[in-house]
Each structure stands twice: as C-alpha cells, then as structure tokens.
Amino acid sequence: MNIASLRFRVTAWYAALFAGALLLFGASTYLGLERYLYWDLDRTLISDCRAIETQLLAQHPFESSTFLSEEIEEAFAPELNGHFIRVTQAGAGVIYISGAPKDGAFDPLQMPPPKTSEPRPRRVQQGNGHSLLIVTSDFTAPDGTRFVVESGVSYRRIEVVLNGLLVTFAIYVPFLVLLGVISGYWLMRRSLRPVDEMTSKAEGITSSNLSERLPVIRTGDELERLSTALNRMIERLDEAFQHIHRFSADASHELRTPLTILQLELEALAQNRQLDPELANQVGSALEETARMSHIVENLLTISRLDAGELKIEKSRIDLGQLASSTADQMKLLAEEKSVTMRCVAGEGIFVQGDRGRLQQVVVNLVDNAIKYTQSGGEVEVRVRQNANTAVLEVSDNGVGIPAEAVPHVFERFFRADRARSRDLGGAGLGLAIVKAICSAHGAEIGVSSQEGRGSRFTVELPLLSASQPMHPPVRQI
C-alpha cells in the first residue's frame, strides 16, 4: 500500500477524525454519566435522610427503645441494599447504626464521626480501597432534641455502571473505527475511480495518438474542471506536434530539390578531368557532405510522414523469421569487413502482418547499428521467437553498450550517445528514430536494454498472427 497516495492520506485523516470524534463523544458521555449518577445518588441519600427525620425522628421521644431500629430496618433494609445509616443523638451518642452490607463493601464501625452537620455529601475512603458517599443532615425534634443523620452508599454502584460503559466503549469503538476506515477507503476508491479512468486513458496517449481525449467527469466539481483542462492541454499539444510534423515534412520536401541539383552539379564538376587535384579533392568532399545531407533529409521526410500517417504502408502476411534470416544474410558481408561474427536464430512459422519493406528496414537499421558499435572480433545476434501472442525480434551485440543516462533518449531524433564517434561512423542519429516510427505505425513496441562496455539488446514485439488465421488482403494506409 502506498502511504503517500491521496487515497491513503484521506482515509487516514478520515479515520483519525472519526476516532477522535468517538473518543470525544465517549469521554463526554462518561463524564456526563458520572456526574449524573453522582447527582442522582446524592439526591437519593438526601431523600433518605429527610424521610428518617420527618417520619421517625419527629416522633421523639420514641414509644420503645427499639422503635427507631425496627422502623429503619423495615423501611430501608440497609444491610440488604448496601446502605450505611447512622443516627447520632446529642448527649447520648450513636443511637442507631446499620450493619455490614452483604457484599462486604464497607465496615460501618470503621466510619469516622461526622465533621459537620451541614447537609453536604462527603467521600470517605476505607482501608479496603472502597469509597462511600455520605450525606450528613442536622435535625431538631419537636421536643428540642438534636440529631445528626448520616446516609451513605458505596461508590461501587457508580463504578459498576461506569466500568460497564468503558467495556462497551473498548469493544465497540475499535469496531466502529475499523468500520469507518473500511467505509472511508471504499468511498475514496469510489470517488477516485474517475481519476483512475483518466490516468489509464492518459497512459495510452502518446505523440502518435494525440487526437484522443480523456473522459470528462460530469460532476460539476474540481474533477470535471481538471479533466476539461487536461483535454484542452492535450489539444494544444496536438496542434503543436502537428505544426512540428508539418514543418519537418515541408522543410525536408523543399530541401530535396536544391540538394539534388547541388549533388548533380558537384558530380558533373568532379568528372571534369581538367580540375586541379586539390580542387578535385575539395569537390569530392563537398559531394560526400551533400550526399550525407540528402540522406538526412530523406530520413527526416520518412519520419515525418510516418508520424503523420501519410506514408504508404502495404500490410501483408509476413514470416518474420524468414524476413530476419534473409536480411541478416545480406548484411553478413558488412559484418565480415569489420571482423564481427553474425548469428541468426529464427523460429519458423512466426507470422505478422506488416509492410515487408518497412519491417526489413527495421532489421537493417538495428543490425547496422549493432555492427557499427561492436569492436572487431565481437558478435551480433539476430533472434526471432514467439512469446504468447506476440512475435519478438531481438538484435543483440557485445559491443561498447550505451551509458545508462543515454538509454531513455536513444530513439530521439539526432541523439547520439557519443557524438564525435557517431559522426566518424557516418551516423546522424536518425536510424533508431526511423525504427521507432515504423514500429509505431505497425502497432509494435520497441525497447532497449544495455550495459556500458558489455553490449546492447533491442527488442521489437509485434502482434502475432496465428497459423490458422486467414490471410488478410494488403491494407494500404495513406
């Protein structure tokens, strides 16, 4: 998973905010419930004190010494309900104290005496770790006798409820956060699906198909504006590329005639035997440069027409292995002149559909390029094989190789990794550009792998025609 992606970051922020909201909600719920339970317990204890005062202590003097105990036990059942009740009479001391509760939460005999007679709650901590909330109330009977009434209950009741709430939060909050993460990721994936479609479409747009456009997302938001802006940018690029192609084609076309005339004039001048030898050498050098310039112009015109789809391409069923083998045989003489060994390993029955002349030009350019940059005693291999639904043409050598920084640029026009060396070999940097243009016109993919000092390998993959596939009539593209 890419943690730097927009989808991951938005999902992470969503999960963090959702988790923070849940924690804030849980904390506020916990504190609010705790405050409410404390207030409710406080009101209950005050109500118990008032009941004892108005219903029992108001009858003082009592009919019997056990009256108060019997009435409190019957009305409140403190041991059973876990309540603490203590009644203290001024001058007589404690006249009633409840027994220990059944749950053993506290010991009534260990309770400290009241510090005040005001009806306010106080928290008493016992040695066993339990706390009690005690309300103290001062009461004066009709006969003038003063009493102090204490009513209390263990905090365990509140703690049980709050602990239950914490357990509920501990169980459901992670589940809700996980659910939020999953739903947030799903929503982001659904929301960014149009962006993925735009990305997939944009990956397939190259300089050869700039007429295609990205899908416009009709949402009225930033995505629609982005897709519209990108389409406008592609349209401007298309116009710029067409202008460049037209300029290259027009310039090459206009240069052909004067270069041809110049070449003919120089050839006629070179054939004049009355020329001074030094002048004849200069004319011969100019003639060579003119021929070289004519070759460059022809190549530029070919590339421009291929890019523009204006060059005639007659497609027919071709045995790629046979084509590569025959072409390699024709170029063995060139390899022998440089003492380079050439091998050809071509499978049989590997058929493709294409223009025989143009595909032969691909083989010639690649093999010629390999021979040029392979030292004497080196080896060049041409191989044709089948790979799934593609026919693969490989031309490899163990020559000087290509620097790593130059590999991405080898198919660019006029690019030469070593300009001085390439010029000495007669290269103009257009051979591989022509190969690239021919491959694009045939729907083929071309790639290169190389290590400097160890050689290069050029790979061309063309759509494969099965042996049972019927012969297609020649297709002419203009």
For residue 73, the model assigns a pLDDT of: 87
For residue 134, the model assigns a pLDDT of: 87
Mean pLDDT across 460-466: 87
If asked whether residues 299 and 363 sit together in one domain, one would say no
**What's the CATH code of the domain at 251?**
1.10.287.130
For residue 457, the model assigns a pLDDT of: 94
Does residue 419 surpass a pLDDT of 70?
A: no
Q: Is residue 454 part of a domain?
A: yes
If asked whether residues 49 and 120 sit together in one domain, one would say yes
Does residue 129 surpass a pLDDT of 80?
A: no
Q: Is residue 136 part of a domain?
A: yes
| Type of residue numbered 376 | S
Structure tokens at 268: 């006629």
If asked whether residues 403 and 430 sit together in one domain, one would say yes
Task: Give the tens place of pLDDT for each residue, 14-51.
Answer: 888 888 898 899 899 999 998 998 888 888 888 998 99
Does residue 80 surpass a pLDDT of 50?
A: yes
235-239: Cβ within 8 A, 24+ apart: 237/210, 238/210, 238/211
Structure tokens at 398: 């163990």
If asked whether residues 237 and 288 sit together in one domain, one would say yes
Least confident of 110-119, 260-269, 466-475: 466-475
> Over pLDDT 90: what percentage of the chain?
15
- Of 19, 17, 12, nearest to 172 (Cα)? 19
Pairing of strands 390-397, 351-354: unpaired
If asked whether residues 396 and 459 sit together in one domain, one would say yes
| pTM reported for the whole predicted model | 0.49
332 vs 350: CA distance, rounded Å:
23
Could you say which of 267, 290, 307 is where a domain stops?
Answer: 307
Task: Write the DSSP string, 290-322.
Answer: HHHHHHHHHHHHHHHHHHHT-S-EEEEEEEHHH
For residue 194, the model assigns a pLDDT of: 80
Q: Is residue 390 part of a domain?
A: yes
For residue 469, the model assigns a pLDDT of: 56
pLDDT band (50, 70, 90) for residue 349: confident
Residue partners of 10: CB distance under 8 A and separation at least 6: 184, 188
Does residue 58 surpass a pLDDT of 60?
A: yes
Mean pLDDT across 260-282: 77
Pairing of strands 379-387, 341-346: parallel
Name the DSSP class of 448: E
If asked whether residues 295 and 390 sit together in one domain, one would say no
Whether 435 and 366 have beta carbons less than 8 Å apart is answered as yes
If asked whether residues 150 and 296 sit together in one domain, one would say no
Q: Is residue 18 part of a domain?
A: yes
The helix (run of H) or strand (run of E) holding residue 124 is strand 121-125
Mean pLDDT across 154-175: 87
pLDDT band (50, 70, 90) for residue 177: confident
Task: Give the tens place of pLDDT for each residue, 139-163.
Answer: 888 888 899 988 888 888 788 888 8
If asked whether residues 404 and 320 sit together in one domain, one would say yes
Could you say which of 261, 279, 307 is where a domain stops?
Answer: 307
Task: Give the tens place of pLDDT for each residue, 84-103.
Answer: 899 988 888 888 999 888 87
413: domain range? 312-477
Structure tokens at 211: 């007429």
For residue 290, the model assigns a pLDDT of: 79
**What's the CATH code of the domain at 117?**
3.30.450.20
For residue 325, the model assigns a pLDDT of: 92
Q: Is residue 259 part of a domain?
A: yes
If asked whether residues 303 and 317 sit together in one domain, one would say no
Residue partners of 467: CB distance under 8 A and separation at least 6: 349, 351
140 vs 117: CA distance, rounded Å:
11
Q: Is residue 199 part of a domain?
A: no
Averaged confidence pLDDT in the chain: 82
Task: Give the tens place of pLDDT for each residue, 208-238.
Answer: 677 788 888 777 777 788 888 888 998 888 8
Task: Give the tens place of pLDDT for each residue, 296-312.
Answer: 777 666 666 666 665 66
- Order of strands across the sheet that contains 83-89: 93-97, 83-89, 146-154, 131-140, 121-125
If asked whether residues 390 and 445 sit together in one domain, one would say yes
CB-based burial label for 160 (10 Å; 0-12, 13-18, 19+): exposed
If asked whether residues 90 and 232 sit together in one domain, one would say no
- Of 328, 382, 321, 329, nearest to 351 (Cα)? 321
Q: Is residue 170 part of a domain?
A: no
pLDDT band (50, 70, 90) for residue 474: very low
If asked whether residues 352 and 433 sit together in one domain, one would say yes
Pick the residue with more confidence: 135 or 115?
A: 135
In sequence order, what are the beta bridge partners of 449?
A: 457
Structure tokens at 440: 């694009």
The total domain count for the chain is: 3
In sequence order, what are the beta bridge partners of 343?
A: 381
Could you say which of 264, 282, 307 is where a domain stops?
Answer: 307
**What's the CATH code of the domain at 342?**
3.30.565.10
Q: Is residue 432 part of a domain?
A: yes
- Of 471, 451, 477, 460, nearest to 395 (Cα)? 460
